[in-house]
Amino acid sequence: MSDRLTQLQDAVDQLAHQMVATFYYVERHHGYEVLGPKDEVRDIQEDPKKKPIDDYPPEKFQEGILELARDLIVKEQQIEYLISSLPGLTNSERDQEQSIKDLEEELKVAEAQRLEAVEEKDEVLSKLDQVLRSVRRP
Amino acid sequence: MADQALESASSTFPDPPPFWRDFTTDKVERMESLRTRYADQTGLDSSTIIRVPDVPEDLVNLQPPAEPADGKWRLFGMELTLKDELQSLESGGVERLAPSEEELEGKHIDRAFVLKRLAKSLLLNFLELMGVMGIAPEQGADKIQDIRTLLLNLHHILNEYRPHQAREQLIALMQDQLDAKRAETAAVRAVVDKAKRVLEGLGSIELPADGSVSTPEIGARPINSVQAKNHGRVHDELRRARGRDAWGALDRDFS
């Protein structure tokens, strides 16, 4: 799990990739259109491998486009969501420095308290030890 | 010579740089003495000195070269700079679409807004590209250039954001540490309190005055060394007597 910024950058790259893939799909699988009364679709190449395009039936092509377009929009929404969840959007650099300093102070205090508690623990431990040693077996 | 060149060209690893021959024992020693003398003169710790100025000609290769004066050097065909900073969009020949870091003055909310705007523009530009390609494919290159600019701007802004995120992570890390420390302190205190209560509880138990619960001949623990010796002797005798009893019982059983 990488940090948000890397995630975001990856998402942007993925969006770009999706765009390329979508472009390729449209370019490769579109059908022929007759634009004037004299136009006709000529398909000289019989070998399907040598055809300039691999045209899908219109319904299938439309479905594909719809799906790809939806994916693009979903990706874009993901990017926007990631942007809104970037850490510390509301903090300025000064705020950050201030909170780092505050935390440093608090850490020092907490460390002192911890050492105090550990000392007390050792004291009680030695006392308990003493008591246990002096216990007589019934 | 030609053979040698051929050999070095075909070997897996390149030859070491020619100055490796300069690292003779006496030269290294002289360098070391120069270094210590320089350390004494400047009052610095000799381990922290990287370069000694004004060394003799034959010793120059024994210390790392000076930093490049203009702060730039080339490595594997790439230009590197001493100051490792983010290349600005302008110097990369890309049009800037959003206000720069200085203009924002740390207002990151605006930056999020800018980012979202860029993301939306990206989508719109792609739609436009598809439209343009359908009508006038020769104009598609311009649109592609626009998308490229948008993408580069997005990445650049995100990279500008990295120091901010690093600080944010530091804050989160410190907060975690603080919480862990406080939790530990609380846990230690809880255990200490429990132990204290146990001690108090022990102190309040009253032993029967006649000593009926204690069996001094075994249970009494030695307090000082003399008692310890006595105790040990008593203990030994007791043990031997018990052993005899046990063997006697066994003999009776098997006879």
The 3 state secondary structure assigned to B149-161 is: HHHHHHHHHHHHH
Residue in B108, B185, B219 closest to A88 by CB: B108
What is the complex's ipTM, to 2 decimals? 0.75
Q: Write the residue in B161, B162, B195 that is nearest to A124 by C-beta.
A: B195
Q: What kind and span of H or E run contains B56?
A: none
pLDDT of residue B109: 58
Residue B122: its chain A contacts at CB < 8 A?
15, 76
Are B108 and B164 in contact by the 8 Å Cβ rule? The answer is yes
Please indicate, yes or no, whether the overall pTM of this predicted structure exceeds 0.95. Answer: no
B170 in A contact zone (CB under 8 Å): yes
Higher pLDDT, B96 or A15: A15
* CB-CB contact of B106 with B135 (8 Å): no
B80 three-class SS = strand
In this predicted model, what pLDDT tens digit does every residue of B157-169 receive, in sequence order?
A: 888 888 888 888 8
**How distant is the alpha carbon of residue B230 from its chain centre?**
60
Looking at residue B21, what DSSP letter applies?
G
Of B111, B162, B219, the CB nearest to A136: B219
CA B172, B177, B178, B182 torsion-angle sign: positive
Give the Cα separation of A55 and A57 in Å (integer). 7
Which amino acid is it at B45? D
Report DSSP letters for B46-59, one per residue. TTT----SS--GGG
| Annotated domain spans of chain B | 2-81, 90-99+110-160, 210-255
Closest chain A residue to B129, measured at CA? A23
Tokens 């120069």 belong to residue: B34
* Amino acid (1-letter code) at residue A133: R
Q: List, in order, residues 6 or more apart from A117 with CB less than 8 Å away.
A: B185, B188, B189, B192
What does the pLDDT look like over B9-54, one tens digit per residue?
567 787 888 888 888 888 888 888 888 888 888 777 767 777 777 7
Task: Work out the minimum CA distance from B175 to partner chain A, whole angstroms.
Answer: 7
**Residue A87 DSSP SS3:** coil
* Residue range B180-220, pLDDT digits in tens: 999 999 999 998 898 888 888 877 776 665 545 444 444 44
